[in-house]
Homo-oligomer: A and B are copies of this chain.
């Protein structure tokens, strides 16, 4: 369920193949066939703690790790993972979409001049007195984005 943030060997599966099995079942549980590409991307995404990646960045990372995937497949995979609840799309005003490997309740810093997203644990921000949702609507989620800029 949760992934250790301290992987000593982050490139290859452990000797008994347990990480590969973990990822396989994670995908299978989500209704996704554990194909080579999906497993490789899942490994890149989930073996380094919480991350915020764009499709393009993940694609380059994959190529750098000798994982041969097309950009289209990276997009498809990111969306499939998101639909399956394995990832979460983060809304910032930049034109790119960022995918967050942390799907638990939390918020974000957005560093304006670097276009970078950083997690803020839900416990560190208190949001209260939410307004009522209009008739027939319900609150799906509350996102808090704390925009940071360089101090002048």
On A, residues with C-beta under 8 Å from B are 89-93, 97, 109, 111-112, 120, 124-131, 133-134, 136-151
CB contact between A148 and one of B90, B128, B138, B143 (< 8 Å): that residue:
B138
Q: 26 A–B contact pairs at CB < 8 A?
A: A90-B93, A91-B91, A91-B93, A93-B97, A109-B133, A109-B134, A112-B140, A124-B129, A124-B131, A125-B127, A126-B129, A128-B128, A130-B146, A133-B148, A134-B148, A136-B150, A136-B151, A137-B149, A137-B150, A138-B150, A138-B151, A139-B146, A140-B147, A142-B146, A144-B144, A145-B145
- B140 near A149 with CB under 8 A, answer yes
Closest residue of chain B to A118 (Cβ to Cβ) is: B134
Contacts of A126 in B (CB 8 A): 126-129
Contacts of A148 in B (CB 8 A): 133-134, 137-140
Contacts of A127 in B (CB 8 A): 125-127, 144
